[in-house]
Structure 1
Amino acid sequence: MDNRHTYDYGVIGNCAYTAHIKKDTNIAWMCWPRFDSSFIFGNMIDDEKGGEFSALPAEGNFDSRQYYLENTNVLCTEITSATGKYRVTDFAPRYLQFERSYKPLMLIRKIEPISEHPNIKVICSPVGDYGETVPERSMGSNHIRYIGLDAQVRLTTNISLSYLMKDQEFVLNETKYLVLTFGPPLEADVKETGELFLNRTVNYWHKWVKTASIANFYQKAAIRSALTLKIHQFEDTGAIVAATTTSLPESPGSTRNWDYRFCWMRDTFYTLNAFNNIGHFEELEKYFHYIMNITSAENDRYQPLFGIGGEKDLIEIETNLKGYQGNQPVRVGNQAYEHIQNDVYGQVLLSLLPLYYDQRIIFTERYDSGDLIHKTLGLIEKTMEQTDAGLWEFRNLSQHHCYTYLFHWAGSMAAEKIAVVLKDEKMGKLAKKLGKIAKGKIEQCYSVGKKGYSQAIGTDRMDASCLQLINMNYLDNNSDRAKEHLKAMEKDLKASNGLFYRYKHQDDFGEPETTFLICAFWYVEALACVGRLDEAIEYFDNLVGYSNHVGLLSEDVNEKDGSMWGNFPQAYSHVGLLNAAHRIAKKLDMPDFR
C-alpha cells in the first residue's frame, strides 16, 4: 500500500467548527461560522480560490511529521528544513467555563523553534463565499482585519505585521502565536491567552477521554475514533454530521462527490450506539434533543437528512470550483433530502428507546413523548407497502428494501417496550402488529438459491446493509441461517483484507469502484456474532491499517491499492470502528476501562 492515495491531513475542532491541516502546515479546509458554511480556507478543493494559512520554510524543501498530543484533538506539525526545525501546534479552544462549554470561533496556532534558526514565511489569506470574495487586509496595532467577509475576521499575533502584510519571510528565534477569530476579536495578550487556552484545551480532552468507557482492545484506535466522532457533533443543536467536508470523490472521476455536512437519520442508531458503548451521555442527550426537535415538527414524513440547525431544504447546487485533484462537480447542499427513505422511522424509535429503559439518562420529556412514538409508528404503518430509495439513496431506483423492513421491525419492537413503560396498550398492540408484518416482508427478501437475504423483495442482488440482520439479532446468531446468510454476503460482496462493498450492481453512476468502510466494520461485527472471532480480529487489524498517518478514516477504500477516498474523516467510519471494537471486546470478555 506504499503508493496508495491518502488524505495527508490532521483535523482539529471544538464542536463549533473543524479545520483540516495538511502536513505542510496549510489549513486546507475550514468552514466558518458553521460546519455547513462557506469555507474560509478551501485549498483542498481549489488551489486558486481556496485561500491559504501556512507557516512554511522560506527555502522550500522540508520534511514533515504530524501527530496529535496524546488523547487530545490538539495537532502538532513539525517541519525540518535547511535552516532549522520548528513545531506548529494547532487547536480549537474548548474547555468548561462556568459549567458550560467554551468553544469560540477561534483558531490558535503556536509556532515554536526547536533547533537552529528556521527561516519561515507565514501567509494568512482567508476567503469568503466559496472563494468568490477576497477580503481587503487592514493593519491594526497588533492585528490584521480582513474586510468584506460575513463577520469581523481578525488575526491577532506577536509576529511583525509588516512581514505578514507583505507575505515576507523572517527568522523564527522565539515562539510566535497567531489567533484567528470570527466575530468578537481577541483583546487580551496573545501569548498569555495562547498558553492558557492550550493548557485548558489539553486538560479538557484528557478528562473527556478519562470519562469514556473504552476496553483494552485496540484502545488507541478506539480513543482516536471517539475523539474524532466528538468533534463532528455541532454542540449548539446536538446534530452529528457525516463529515465536515464536501465533494471528496468516492473514486477518481466517478462524479460521486457529495456534500456530507448534514445530519443523516439513517445513521442515528449506530451513532447513539457508539456513544452509549463508550458511556458518553452528554453527547447522547444532545443528539436526542436534536432528533426530537426535528421529528416533532414533521407530520407527513421524516426526511433522510436535515441541516445541523434542523433546516429542511438542503438544495443541491454545483459550483465552479476546481474540485479535489480536479474531481468535479463540487456540490453544496444535498438533493437526498427529497428522497423517500423509510428506514428513518425505525431509526428514530430505536434511538428513543434508551430514554425509557436506561435509568442513567435523565430526560424530562420521557413521559411526554408518547405522541411522537404514536406518530412515528403511524408512519411505519403508512409506508409499509411503499418502495423507497434505501439507505444508499439510489436516485433512480425504488424498491421494497430489506434494510427498510429490518428497521420497521426493530422500531416496532422498540415501541412495544416503550409502550410497556408508558402503560399504553394501544401503542403496544399497533407495534406488535407492525413488527409481525415487517418480519413477513423481510422473509420475502430471502433467496433460496443464495441461502441469504437479498437487497429487496424480488431481486437476488446482495447488499451489505443486510449484515445488520445478524448484528441486530433479527437472525439467531447461533443458527445455520445466520451463518449461511453471512457466507452468501461474503460470496458476493467481500473484498480483500476484510473490506466490503455496499453492493456490486450498477446504480445511477455506474458500478461502484470502492469499498465502503463502515460496511467492513459491520462485517467484522457479524463475524464476531456468529462465533468466527479469530477472523473478526484479523480483519479488524487490517481495517485499522487503512487509517492515515494520524489515525483518521475515510469513507471509502479502494480494494486494489488501499487508497482512501470519499469525504474525510468520515464520522460513521469511526462509529463503525468503535462499535466493532466494542463487540469484539465483549466477546473476548474484556472489561471496560473508565
Structure 2
Amino acid sequence: MGAGDPPVNDRRLPATAWRTDGYAPLRHYAVIGDGRAAALVARDGSVDWLGLPALDSPTVFAAVLDAARGGRFLLEPEVTYRVARRYLPGTNVLETTFTTDRGIARVTDALTLHDDAALAPMRELQRRLDGVAGTVPMRWSVQPRFAYGARAPRLVRRAGIPVAESGSDALAVCAWEVGEPTCADDAIGGRVDLQEGTRGLIAMPFAYQEPLVFPARSECDARMEKTCEIWRHWAKERAYEGMWREAVLRSALTLKLLIFAPSGAVAAAATSSLPECIGGERNWDYRFSWVRDSAFALEAFLRLGCSAEAHAYFWWLMHASQLTHPRLRVLYRLDGGAQAPEVALPLEGYHGSAPVRIGNAAADQVQLDTYGELLQTGWLYARAMGRLDNDVARRLAELADFICSHWQRPDSGIWEVRSAPVHFTQSKMMCWVALDRAVRLAERGLIPHGHAARWRSGRQAVREFVETRCFSQERNCYVRSAGSEDLDAAVLLGLLYGYGDPGDPRLRATVDAVGRELRHGPYVDRYSGEDGLSGTEGAFVACSFWLAESLARSGRLDDAVELMDELVGLANDVGLYSEEIDPVSGAFLGNMPQGLSHLALISAACAISKEAGR
C-alpha cells in the first residue's frame, strides 16, 4: 500500500481515483492462471495483463504497461464502492466483493481448468457476477489489443456472439444475464443492474490457430466448479504444518501458477518490464526459467510433497541444459529453448518506465553461480530418488569438470550486472558448492567418479580464493567481490547452501554485516556499490527472507521469527509479493508475482520451523 493510502477495505472512491494516469498501484494486483497462461486483475476489477495462448506469449491485455494502448477487460460498479478480495480457500480463483450504497456485488475470476489429468487446447477466462444484496449497476468492457498492443481487433459476430479477431488469434465474449453485448470503438461491452440473487457470467474463450468454440453456459458453470475442485485437491496434498502455514500455502499455489504445465518449467514471474524504479530503465522480461532458481524450486517441491512437479521440473531442466551442455545459459525459454533476444516495444511503460522489453539479454551472460545451483539441484533430486539416469549422471560429472577449468573467470554474477565482469564472491562460493556436490555424488556412486580427485583439488582451490581474496579483514565479513569493500546479500546463499558451517565466525559476521548495513526495518537491499545501470531500486524481497533463514540457521531463532513475522505482513491483501518493495512507501516494484520471492518465503518458513522444532 502506498504512503497515505486508506485501508484496503475502507474506500468509497470511483475507480479512476484509485489510478494515477490510468495506472493502478502494483500492490493492487492479484494473479489468476491455469498452468499455461496468467492474468493480473486489479483491485478495481480490471484485467490489465494477459498473454495468450501461453504465459510468455504476446499479450491481449497489457494496460499495466500502457494504459492507453495496452488493452484491458473492465468490470466494476458504475457507482462508488468499497472492495474486499480473497482467493477462494485453497484455490487460485479470485473473489472480489464490491460494496456500494445501493447493494453488494461479487465477482469471481478464473482461468478455468478442464481436467486435472489432461491439457485441453482451449483457453478460457471466466468472470462470474453475483448479486449479493440490493441492486448494483455494473459496467463491463473487453478491449483486446493483440501483439502487445500493436494490433487493434476486427470485431465481428459469429452465431450472434461478438468475436475479436487479429490474424490467427480470436477471442469470443459469451455473456449471460449481464446485459446485451455491444461492439463499438474496438471494444465489446455492456452493462447490467445486478439484482440480489442474480448470477451473470462473462466467458472469454480464446483460440490460436484453432477453431474458436462457443461454450454453453452449463459447460462454463461446470468448468468453474471443476477448477475450484482441482485447486482444492492440490492444496490439500501440500505437506507443511509449521509456522506461517497460510503464507506458505499461498506461496505454493502462486508457484503452481508459474509452472508452465506443458513443459514443467518454472517461470520467474508472470509479467514483463514492470519497473524496479518508476521512470527508470530497470525493466526486464521475467517470463523465462532461471537456473538460479532451480535449487530453491526443487527443494520447495520436495518439502511440500509436490513429487510430480519435482520430477517434471528436473527433467525439463535436464532437457533444456542439454542443448547448451556443458555451458549453462542463465535462463531458458519455457519450452526449453536457449535463445531470448531482447527487443524494446513501442509502449509507454508503467508510469512512463521505458524501455518496455521482451526477451532478456542476460541469457548470454556468464554466471558461474548457476553451475552450483544446478549441481545442488542434481544432489537434491538424487538424494530424494536414490538414483540418477546414466546420461544425467555423466552430464553432471562433465559440469564439474567444466567448473574446474573455468571457476577462475570473472562473471556477471547472480544480479546480472551489465558492466564488466568481476570475481563475485557468491559466484565463487557456488563454484565450491558445485564441486562439493559432485564429490558427494561420486562418493555415493551416483555419478562417474573418475575425476573426483580433480574435483576435490578444485574445491580446495576455490575455497582458498574466497578466503584470501573475498573476505575483508577490515570489515570482518565476506564482501561483494574480490578486492571490494562493498556488501552483497547474495553471499548469504553461501550459508544456505552449505559453503561453511552455520556457526563459522566469518559467516556469522557476514550475516551481522548484511543485517547492519543492507537492512532497513524488514527490508534488505541486494548490495552496496554500483552496477552499471542508472537509477535506484527497491529492497529485494528474496534477500529479506534469506536473512531471516540465515539468522535461524546461525542460531538466532528469536530474531529470525521476528523478522519472518514482519515479512509475512508485507504481502498484499491476497498474499502475493512482487520482486521488490519500496521501503519508504511500501509500494510494490518489479515483476509480479515473483517466483523467487515466494520460493524464499517457503525456504525460510521451513528452515525456521525446523529450527524451532515445529
2:216 counterpart residue number: 189
Aligned to 2:269: 243
Letter in 1 for 2:583: E
Q: TM (normalized to structure 2)?
A: 0.91
Contact 2:281 2:535 in 1 (8 A): no
Distance of 2:376 and 2:247 partners within structure 1? 27
What is the 5 A alignment of 1:401-480?
A: 401-419=424-442, 420-422=444-446, 424-443=448-467, 444-480=469-505
Matches of 1:344 and 1:416 in 2, distance apart? Answer: 17
Q: How does 1:51-450 map to 2 (within 5 A)?
A: 51-58=71-78, 60-94=79-113, 96-97=115-116, 99-100=117-118, 104-141=122-159, 143-159=161-177, 162-165=180-183, 167-173=189-195, 174-183=198-207, 184-190=211-217, 192-299=218-325, 301-359=327-385, 366-419=389-442, 420-422=444-446, 424-443=448-467, 444-450=469-475
More off after superposition, 518-527 vs 372-381:
372-381
Q: How far is 1:85 from its partner?
A: 2.1
Give the whole-Å Cα distance in 1 for the aligned partners of 2:349 and 2:26.
Answer: 16
Deviates more, 1:270-279 or 1:88-97: 88-97
Alpha-carbon RMSD across the aligned residues, in angstroms, is: 2.0
How far apart are residue 375 of structure 1 and its match? 2.3
| 2:321–2:329 contact (8 Å) kept in structure 1 | no
- Hey, what's the Cα distance between the residues in 1 that align with 2:119 and 2:231? 12
Tell me the residue number matched to 2:584: 560
- Letter of the 2:55 counterpart: F
Structure 2 gaps, min length 5: 6-24
Deviation at 1:387, TM superposition (A): 0.5
Q: Note the C-alpha offset of 1:580.
A: 0.5
- Residue 169 of structure 1: how far off its partner (Å): 2.6
Output the amino acid matched with 1:3: G
Say if 2:42 is the partner of 1:42.
Answer: no
Counterpart residue identity of residue 47, structure 1: A
> CA shift at 1:367, angstroms?
2.9
For residues 519 and 441 of structure 2, what CA distance do their matches in structure 1 show?
A: 37
Residue deviations 1:7-66 (CA, integer Å, cap 9, x gap): 2111111110111111111111111111121111111111111222122223x4222222
Distance in 2 between the 1:168 and 1:490 partners?
Answer: 54
Cα distance change on mapping 1:162 and 1:423 into 2, 3 Å: closer
Contact 1:215 1:585 in 2 (8 A): no
- Tell me the SS of whatever aligns to 1:152: strand
Partner of 2:44: 24
Give the AA of the match of 2:575. G
Q: CA deviation at 1:423?
A: 6.4
CA, structure 1 residues 89+62, in 2 after alignment: closer, same or farther (shift >3 Å)?
Answer: same
- The alignment-based identity, stated in percent, is 28
**Quick one: distance in 2 between partners of 1:545 and 1:344?**
31
What is the distance in 2 between the residues matched to 1:31 and 1:280? 26
Deviation at 1:533, TM superposition (A): 0.8
Change (3 A) 1:403 1:312: same
Aligned length: 583
Please tell me whether the aligned partners of residues 241 and 308 of structure 1 are also in contact (alpha carbons under 8 angstroms). Answer: yes
Letter in 1 for 2:488: D
Task: Rate the CA distance shift 1:24–1:435 in 2: closer, same or farther, 3 A.
Answer: same
Does the CA contact (< 8 Å) of 1:294 and 1:310 recur in 2? yes
Q: 2:15 maps to which residue?
A: none
Name the aligned partner's letter for residue 34 of structure 2. Answer: N
| Structure 2 CA distance for partners of 1:153 and 1:511, relative to 1, 3 Å | closer
What is the one-letter code of the residue matched to 2:483?
G
Number of the residue aligned with 2:11: none
2:12 aligned residue: none
1:465 counterpart SS class: helix
- SS of equivalent to 2:131: strand
Provide the rounded CA distance (Å) in 1 between the counterparts of 2:103 and 2:514. Answer: 55
Check the 8 A contact 2:275/2:589 in 1, yes or no.
yes
1:494-533 equivalences in 2 (<5 Å): 494-496=519-521, 498-510=522-534, 512-533=536-557
Could you tell me how far apart the structure 2 residues matched to 1:188 and 1:28 are? Answer: 24
Amino acid at match of 1:526: S
Structure 1 residue 381: Cα displacement: 1.9
Distance across 2 between alignment mates of 1:329 and 1:511: 14
User: How much has 1:178 moved relative to structure 2?
Assistant: 1.7
Whole-angstrom CA distance in 2 between matches of 1:422 and 1:578: 28
CA distance in 1, matches of 2:178, 2:548: 54
Q: Verify the 8 A CA contact 1:356 1:366 in the aligned structure 2.
A: no
Deviations 1:248-293 (A, max 9, x none): 1112223211111111111111121222221211111111111111
Please list every run of 5 or more consecutive structure 1 residues that lacks an aligned counterpart in the other structure.
none
- Secondary structure in 2 matching 1:77: strand
**Cα pair 1:319 1:330 within 8 Å, conserved:** yes
Task: Determine the C-alpha separation between the residues in 1 that align with 2:43 and 2:588.
Answer: 16
Check the 8 A contact 1:108/1:179 in 2, yes or no: yes
SS at 1:100 equivalent? coil
Structure 2 counterpart of 1:51, one-letter code: G
